[in-house]
Amino acid sequence: MKTIKVNLGKRSYPIWIDHGLLRRVPELLGPRTGHQWVIVTQATVRNLYAHKLTELLKSSGIDVSTIIIPEGEEAKSLSEVESIYEQLLELNCDRSTLLVALGGGVVGDVTGFVAATYLRGVDYLQVPTTLLAMVDSAIGGKTGVNLPQGKNLVGAFYQPIGVVVDPELLQSLPRRDVISAMGEILKYGAIRDRDFFEKLRQNMDSLLSLEDEEVLLKAIVRCCEIKADVVSHDEQESDLRRILNFGHTIGHALETVAGYGILQHGEAVAYGMIAAGQISHELGYLNQQDHELLVSTLRKLPLPKLPDLNPEVVLEAIGHDKKVKAGRLHFVVLEGLGNAIVTDEVSDERIMNVIKDGIFQH
C-alpha cells in the first residue's frame, strides 16, 4: 500500500492507494467502530459498491446509514444540500458522525460541503470511485455546489480525514469517464512534471483501456503526489495552488455555456488546456515545440464535438469565475511544458480571439 501525506498541520491526512482497499476501510480508520457513519452516494454506485461497504462496516460494529443523491451535476445544488441536512437530522446525526463520500467528484464535492457546514463541521472520508476523483477532486478539501451562473460558486475549503484510493473500483467505469479523467491526469504532467507528461503520452492507449494495472497505479500515485505537494504548500489557493487551474478557466466556462451534461469536466479541461496552451504560446511563454507536443497529446483524446459557441457568452461565463480578483483574471499559462505560472496579462480580447479561431475543432 502506498501512503501519501497531505501536510497541513493539525488538518493533515493520508491518501491510501492500493488494490482492494475498500475491504480495509474499517482497518484504515481504526478506533471509529461503534460510531455513526453515513454513506453519501448515488444509485449506480450504491448498487455496485455501497451494499458491500455497508455490510463490511456493520460486521465491524459500525452503525451505518446511506443517503442517495441524484446522478450528475444537478446534485450539486443548494436545494439538494438542504435535503441532505434534513436527512442527517432525521438520522439524529451529531458532531461525532462520520460522512463517507462514496462516488465521483459530484458526490465528493457535495459531501464535503455538507460536512463543512452541518453543525459547523463534521468529519468526512473520501472514497472515490472514478479515476477523475481519485487523481484530483477527492484530494485537497475543495468542496462546493453550483449556481446557474457557474460551477462551484458556493463552497468551502474543508479537508477530509483521509482518502481511500482503490483502483479495483474502476473496473465498471465507463470509457468516457476514463477519457475525462485523462484530461486532468495530463494536466499534472503539463504543470509540474514534463517526464511524467511524456510517459503519459507514450502509454495513452494503455491508460485509456485500463488494461495495465501497474501503469495505471503509477499514474494515479504520481498525480496524488503532485496534488498533495501543491496543497500542502498552499491550502487555500492564494499562490501555488492556482496552477492546478490550468485549463479550468476556459474549461469551466465551456461546461457552463454548453450546458451541464454536454461536456464532462475533464473533457472541458482538455479543451481549456488547448486554449491555454495557445495563449501561452502567443504570450511567448511556451515555445513552438512544447506547444505542438501539448496540443498533439491532448488531441489524442477522443473528445466530443463542441456545439457552436458564442465567444461573448463564453467570456461572460469566465467573468463569473472565482479566479477573477479585483477585476483582473488570474490565468494559468505554461512557461515551458512541466512548469505552470499565473499571469494577469491575458486580456478578454485574446481569449475571444482564441475561441473565434476555432482551435477547439478537431
Backbone angles phi, psi at 234, to 5 degrees: -155, 85
Q: In this model, does residue 151 exceed pLDDT 80?
A: no
Q: Is 252 a catalytic residue?
A: yes
Question: Which one from 73, 235, 237, 255 is the annotated catalytic residue?
Answer: 237
Closest CA to 20 of 165, 162, 124: 165
Tell me the whole-structure pTM to 2 decimals: 0.92
Confidence of residue 359 (pLDDT cuts 50, 70, 90): low
Question: Which one from 32, 192, 227, 281 is the annotated catalytic residue?
Answer: 227
Q: In this model, does residue 115 exceed pLDDT 90?
A: yes
Q: What is the pLDDT of residue 256?
A: 85
Question: Which one from 32, 76, 142, 222 is the annotated catalytic residue?
Answer: 142
Closest CA to 80 of 8, 134, 154: 154
End-to-end Cα, the chain, rounded Å = 41
Mean pLDDT in residue range 274-297 = 96
Name the average pLDDT for the chain: 92
Mean pLDDT in residue range 7-22 = 96
CA distance linking residue 200 with residue 194, whole number of Å: 10
Mean pLDDT lowest for which of 50-54, 95-99, 195-199, 256-260?
A: 256-260
Q: What is the pLDDT of residue 83?
A: 97
**Between vectors from CA 96 to CA 95 and to CA 101, what angle results, nearest 5°?**
90
Centre a 10 Å sphere on the Cβ of residue 21 and count the other Cβ atoms it contains.
19
Q: Is 120 a catalytic residue?
A: yes
Q: What is the pLDDT of residue 148?
A: 84
CATH class of 175-356: mainly alpha
Q: In this model, does residue 326 exceed pLDDT 70?
A: no
Query: CB-hemisphere CA count at 13 Å for 219?
Result: 30
Q: What is the pLDDT of residue 73?
A: 83
Handedness of CA 7, 342, 221, 73 (dihedral sign): positive
Q: Is 184 a catalytic residue?
A: yes
> 32 with 61: CB under 8 angstroms?
no
| Grid cell listed for 325 | 480578483
| Grid cell listed for 91 | 438520522
Q: What is the pLDDT of residue 260?
A: 67
Cα-trace Rg, the chain: 20
Q: What is the pLDDT of residue 33?
A: 57
Q: Is 47 a catalytic residue?
A: no
**What percentage of the chain reaches a pLDDT higher than 70?**
95
**What are the CA-CA distances from residue 346 to residues 176, 324, 328, 354 (Å)?**
32, 12, 9, 11
Longest dimension (CA), the chain: 60
Question: Which one from 265, 291, 323, 330 is the annotated catalytic residue?
Answer: 265
Cβ burial of 236 (10 Å; 0-12, 13-18, 19+) is exposed
Stretch(es) of the chain classified as CATH 1.20.1090.10: 175-356
Q: Is 335 a catalytic residue?
A: no
Question: Which one from 252, 291, 323, 330 is the annotated catalytic residue?
Answer: 252
**What are the CA-CA distances from residue 23 to residues 52, 53, 99, 310 (Å)?**
9, 7, 17, 49
Mean pLDDT lowest for which of 5-9, 74-78, 87-91, 316-320?
A: 316-320
330: left (phi over 0), alpha (psi -120 to 50) or beta: beta
Question: Which one from 10, 90, 92, 120 is the annotated catalytic residue?
Answer: 120
Instruction: Say if domain 2-170 classifies as CATH 3.30.70.20.
Output: no
Q: Is 353 a catalytic residue?
A: no
Question: Which one from 76, 245, 255, 323 is the annotated catalytic residue?
Answer: 245
CA distance linking residue 63 with residue 61, whole number of Å: 7
> 352 with 358: CB under 8 angstroms?
no
Confidence of residue 334 (pLDDT cuts 50, 70, 90): very high
Pick the residue with more confidence: 282 or 74? 282
Q: Is 320 a catalytic residue?
A: no
pLDDT in tens, 210-235: 989 999 999 999 999 999 999 999 99
Centre a 10 Å sphere on the Cβ of residue 201 and count the other Cβ atoms it contains.
16
Confidence of residue 339 (pLDDT cuts 50, 70, 90): very high
Q: Is 245 a catalytic residue?
A: yes
Q: In this model, does residue 172 exceed pLDDT 90?
A: no
Q: Is 281 a catalytic residue?
A: no
Question: Which one from 32, 151, 192, 241 is the annotated catalytic residue?
Answer: 241
Q: What is the pLDDT of residue 362?
A: 55
Stretch(es) of the chain classified as CATH 3.40.50.1970: 2-170
Question: Which one from 248, 281, 291, 330 is the annotated catalytic residue?
Answer: 248
